[in-house]
Chain A
């Protein structure tokens, strides 16, 4: 293949840039897939428990996923629409309720 005169041959620096760009794109794609997987997991657990779209049930599942190290605190807060001030109190209440029902 012959490079066109208007497009210079790639340099070593170009190759590094391309590799970094690919890593960024790869990470973004993985992140998007993880988001969809978590959405599907939450919906599946809600359906399994016959809870439909109950926001409190959704929150309980998000706390479970936090304690299972699948979601971070930031992700739980965002998905559960929780304020920073209420996160820890609700998480504790959920843990205590879970311990009682096990």
Chain B
């Protein structure tokens, strides 16, 4: 599945030094220039991902980005993620979004896309044995100012976690 992450999730993954694991969660990962411009703190890891081939820089039609900004009130980076997903991913696209208003916009108006957040990616890393605890990793990111749960993202992640637990398993 092609993955289209927003800047918030990339910055958090970069801070946790987990960006190189992203292709284990998805297949190819796509990034546009607006998102890339925001991810200053993880620029070296982004460059390394591009050099390694799993992270693919792509160009979108800026007129479409601006049109979506006008319609949704979202920032250019989040609109670029949505436009890029429509352009390259179609119905197979997975959007990795942690900015609350962008997350809710995609959830409501773009149901054709799979929508996940940092919690989903970290849970996948935990399940694969790459990290010891998704919850601990997020707690550390929060403590260091890199991340904050948007209520919409938290709600869906908790619901998803509940669905993953088997009956009888402790919560």
CB pair B145–A96 under 8 Å, yes or no, is: yes
Chain B, 34-45, contact with A by CB distance < 8 Å: what is the 0/1 string?
100111110000
Cα A36 to Cα B39 in complex, Å, equals 32
B74 on interface, CB distance cutoff 8 Å: yes
CB-contacts of A3-51 with B (<8 A):
none
B82 on interface, CB distance cutoff 8 Å: no
Number of interface residues of A (CB under 8 A): 19
CB pair A95–B148 under 8 Å, yes or no, is: yes
Minimum CB–CB distance from B6 to chain A (whole Å) comes to 10
Cα A84 to Cα B32 in complex, Å, equals 13
A67 partner residues in chain B, CB cutoff 8 A: 148
CB pair A88–B38 under 8 Å, yes or no, is: yes
B150 on interface, CB distance cutoff 8 Å: yes
Partner of A88, one of B34, B41, B151: B41
| Known contacts A69-B100, A89-B41, A84 near B75 by CB under 8 Å | yes
Partner of A84, one of B34, B99, B102: B34
CB-contacts of A54-78 with B (<8 A):
67, 69, 72-75, 77
Partner of A74, one of B74, B144, B145, B148: B74
Cα A7 to Cα B11 in complex, Å, equals 59
| A/B interface sample: 10 pairs, CB < 8 A | A67-B148, A69-B150, A69-B151, A72-B74, A72-B99, A73-B75, A77-B75, A88-B38, A92-B144, A96-B145
Contacts A85-B40, A92-B144 known; list 4 others, CB within 8 Å.
A67-B148, A92-B41, A92-B146, A99-B145
Which are the 7 A-B pairs with shortest beta-carbon distances?
A95-B145, A92-B145, A74-B75, A72-B101, A96-B145, A84-B38, A73-B75
